C-alpha cells in the first residue's frame, strides 16, 4: 500500500497533544478533545488576521503590520460576536435544508454533464472537482457562469495569502485576486441585477437597509468563493485519492455514500488547521497560553486521534461517526458543511455509478504554491 498521504502532518502525534513550537512562536494542538475544548473557549478569538503573528512575520520585517488584507479581515469567519453572528445570520438561510434541496438537481446535473463524455481515463481535479465546485459557487453567489473558470486561480492565491503573507509576492498576488473578485461582484450587481435568492441579492438588500457596509458585500462574496470552492474541490480530490490509497474503490457502494463521505472527511479533511489568538490567559494540559499567543488547532491530526477513533489510520467504509472535526466545532462550525457534503456525495455517486473499477494512471500531482500544496492532477484509469 502506498504511503499514507497524510503522513507529513501525522508525525505531530508523536508530540504532546498541546505544545509550544518555539521555532514558529505558536501553540500547536493535536488532540481531539483538546481541540474541541479550545474551539469553544471564548478566550480564543477567531480574529487572528488582526494581530496573530508567527516568528516568520517578524523575521521578514512586518512587525506591527496587520496580516492578510482589510478584505479578509472583514470575513465573518475571522470575526467574533456580535459581527460574526450578524453576517453569518444574513447568509445562513442560503444553506438551509430547503435551499440545499432546491440546489441539489443543479449539482447532480452538473456532475452528469462533466462525466458524460468521459471514457477510460479521467483527471479528477480539472475534469470534475474544479469545475463542479466553481459552478456551484457562482450559482450560490449569483455570479455569471463565465466567472467560474477564474475561481481556481483566485482561491489558490488567497489560500497562500492566509499562510504566507510575510512574502511580498504572496501579498501582491492575493491582493490582486481579491480586487478581481470585487470587480466581478460589482459587474454582477450593476448588470441585470443579482439573481433572486442569491447571496449578492441578500447582501445588497442588507447594505440598502444599513445592516452592513458596502465593503462587506465584496468581502463576504470573496469568503464564499474561497471557502465554497477551495475546501470542496480539494476534498473531492482527497476523497478519491483516499479510496485509491486504501484500494477500496471497488468496495465502496452507492448505498454507503452518506456514511462514506463522513469517514472520508475524518480520514483526510481539506482543512488541516484553524488558527485562534488568545485574548485572555488559557490553562490547558498544564500549560498557560498567554494573551496574544497564536494557537494552531490541527483538525486533520485530531481526526486521526488514536484515543478517540479505533484504528484511526484505517479508512473504514463501515465506520459510523459524526464526531470528526472536518468542519470545525462550536460557533464557527462551517456554514457550508451541508453543501459540501452534497457536492462530494454527488461527485462520488457519479463516479461510482459509472465505473466499478478504478486505479491510478500515475501518481497524484501536487503543485507547491507559496507554502500551499495544491492537488493539481489525479489521473485515473476507469472501467465499468
Confidence of residue 315 (pLDDT cuts 50, 70, 90): very high
User: How confident is the model over 172-211, as pLDDT tens digits?
Assistant: 999 999 999 999 999 998 877 778 889 999 999 999 999 9
Residue 266 has pLDDT above 90, yes or no: yes
Identify whether 20 is part of a domain: yes
Percentage above 90 pLDDT, the chain: 80
Identify whether 1 is part of a domain: no
Identify whether 224 is part of a domain: yes
The b/e string for 264-283 (b: 16+ C-beta within 10 A; e otherwise) is: bbbbbbbbbbbbbbbeeebe
Task: List CB contacts of 167: < 8 A, sequence separation 6 or more.
Answer: 60, 370
What is the pLDDT, as a whole number, of residue 205? 94
The region of weakest confidence among 58-62, 109-113, 187-191, 283-287 is: 58-62
Identify whether 2 is part of a domain: no
Cell of 20: 509550544
Angle, in degrees to the nearest 10, between helices 232-245 and 337-354: 40
Identify whether 191 is part of a domain: yes
Phi-psi region of 370 (alpha: psi -120 to 50; beta: other; left: phi over 0): left
Query: What is the DSSP code string of 36-87?
Result: HHHHT-TTEES-HHHH---HHHHHTT-TTPPSS-HHHHTSGGG--TTHHHHH
Number of domains in the chain: 1
Task: List CB contacts of 222: < 8 A, sequence separation 6 or more.
Answer: 71, 72, 75, 158, 178, 181, 182, 185
What is the pLDDT, as a whole number, of residue 10? 86
CA atoms 254, 259, 262, 268: torsion sign: negative
Q: Cell 462520488 appears where?
A: 348
Confidence of residue 7 (pLDDT cuts 50, 70, 90): confident
- What's the mean pLDDT in 272-292? 95
- Burial tier of 49 (Cβ tally within 10 Å: 0-12, 13-18, 19+): buried
What is the pLDDT, as a whole number, of residue 126? 98
What is the pLDDT, as a whole number, of residue 194? 74
Identify whether 46 is part of a domain: yes
Neighbours of 241 (CB within 10 A): 21
Percentage above 70 pLDDT, the chain: 95
Distance, C-alpha 40 to centroid of its chain: 20
Q: What is the pTM of this model?
A: 0.94
* Whole-number Å distance between alpha carbons of 235 and 243: 12
User: How confident is the model over 229-253, as pLDDT tens digits?
Assistant: 999 999 999 999 999 999 999 999 9
Residue 72 has pLDDT above 90, yes or no: yes
The closest alpha carbon to 57, from 177, 156, 168, 157, belongs to 168
Please count the CA atoms within 13 angstroms of the CA of 261 that sit on its side-chain side. Answer: 21
- Burial tier of 311 (Cβ tally within 10 Å: 0-12, 13-18, 19+): exposed
- Burial tier of 208 (Cβ tally within 10 Å: 0-12, 13-18, 19+): exposed
What is the pLDDT, as a whole number, of residue 60? 55
Identify whether 364 is part of a domain: yes
What is the pLDDT, as a whole number, of residue 1? 54
Coil, strand or helix: which one is 29? strand
What is the pLDDT, as a whole number, of residue 368? 86
What is the pLDDT, as a whole number, of residue 57? 67
Higher pLDDT, 192 or 364: 364
What is the pLDDT, as a whole number, of residue 163? 86
* Whole-number Å distance between alpha carbons of 269 and 5: 11
- What's the mean pLDDT in 78-106? 96
- Its domain, for residue 103, covers 7-383
Using CA atoms, how far residue 224 sits from 140, 209, 217, 373, in Å, is 9, 22, 11, 21
Coil, strand or helix: which one is 380? strand
Residue 286 has pLDDT above 80, yes or no: yes
What is the pLDDT, as a whole number, of residue 371? 75
What is the pLDDT, as a whole number, of residue 62? 52
- What's the mean pLDDT in 222-226? 97
Cell of 271: 482543512
Identify whether 51 is part of a domain: yes
* Whole-number Å distance between alpha carbons of 260 and 240: 11
Confidence of residue 56 (pLDDT cuts 50, 70, 90): low
User: How confident is the model over 116-157, as pLDDT tens digits?
Assistant: 999 999 999 999 999 999 999 999 999 999 999 999 999 999
What is the pLDDT, as a whole number, of residue 59? 64
- What's the mean pLDDT in 256-273? 93
What is the pLDDT, as a whole number, of residue 61? 53
**Average pLDDT over all residues of the chain:** 92
Residue 2 has pLDDT above 80, yes or no: no
* Whole-number Å distance between alpha carbons of 139 and 228: 11
* Domain CATH code at residue 199: 1.10.630.10
Amino acid at each position: 500500500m502506498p504511503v499514507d498521504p497524510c503522513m507529513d502532518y501525522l508525525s505531530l502525534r508523536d508530540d504532546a497533544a498541546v505544545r509550544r513550537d518555539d521555532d514558529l512562536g505558536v501553540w500547536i494542538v493535536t488532540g481531539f478533545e483538546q481541540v474541541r475544548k479550545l474551539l469553544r473557549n471564548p478566550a480564543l478569538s477567531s480574529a487572528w488576521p488582526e494581530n496573530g503573528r508567527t516568528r516568520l512575520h517578524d523575521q521578514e520585517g512586518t512587525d506591527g503590520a496587520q496580516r492578510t488584507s482589510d478584505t479578509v479581515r472583514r470575513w465573518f469567519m475571522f470575526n467574533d460576536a456580535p459581527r460574526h453572528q450578524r453576517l453569518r445570520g444574513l447568509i445562513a438561510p442560503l444553506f438551509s435544508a430547503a435551499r440545499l434541496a432546491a440546489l441539489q438537481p443543479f449539482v447532480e446535473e452538473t456532475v452528469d454533464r462533466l462525466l458524460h463524455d468521459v471514457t477510460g481515463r479521467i483527471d479528477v481535479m480539472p475534469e470534475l472537482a474544479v469545475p463542479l465546485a466553481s459552478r456551484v459557487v457562482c450559482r450560490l453567489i449569483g455570479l455569471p457562469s463565465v466567472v467560474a473558470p477564474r475561481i481556481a486561480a483566485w482561491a489558490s492565491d488567497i489560500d497562500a495569502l492566509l499562510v504566507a503573507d510575510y512574502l511580498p509576492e504572496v501579498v501582491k498576488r492575493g491582493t490582486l485576486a481579491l480586487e478581481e473578485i470585487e470587480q466581478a461582484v460589482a459587474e454582477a450587481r450593476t448588470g441585470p441585477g443579482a439573481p433572486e435568492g442569491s447571496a449578492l441579492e441578500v447582501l445588497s438588500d442588507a447594505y440598502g437597509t444599513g445592516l452592513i457596509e458596502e465593503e462587506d458585500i465584496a468581502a463576504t462574496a470573496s469568503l464564499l468563493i474561497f471557502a465554497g470552492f477551495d475546501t470542496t474541490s480539494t476534498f473531492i480530490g482527497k476523497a478519491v485519492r483516499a479510496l485509491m490509497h486504501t484500494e477500496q474503490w471497488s468496495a465502496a457502494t452507492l448505498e454507503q455514500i452518506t456514511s462514506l463521505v463522513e469517514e472520508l472527511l475524518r480520514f483526510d479533511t481539506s482543512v488541516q488547521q484553524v488558527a485562534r489568538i488568545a485574548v485572555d490567559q488559557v490553562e490547558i494540559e498544564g500549560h498557560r497560553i498567554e494573551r496574544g499567543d497564536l494557537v494552531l488547532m490541527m483538525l486533520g491530526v485530531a481526526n486521526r486521534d488514536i484515543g478517540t477513533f479505533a484504528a484511526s489510520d484505517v479508512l473504514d467504509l463501515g465506520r459510523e461517526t459524526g464526531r470528526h472535526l472536518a468542519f470545525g466545532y462550536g460557533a464557527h462550525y462551517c456554514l457550508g458543511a451541508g453543501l459540501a457534503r452534497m457536492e462530494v456525495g454527488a461527485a462520488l455517486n457519479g463516479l461510482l455509478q459509472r465505473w466499478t473499477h478504478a486505479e491510478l494512471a500515475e501518481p497524484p500531482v501536487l503543485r507547491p504554491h507559496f507554502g500551499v500544496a495544491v492537488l493539481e492532477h489525479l489521473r485515473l484509469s476507469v472501467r465499468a
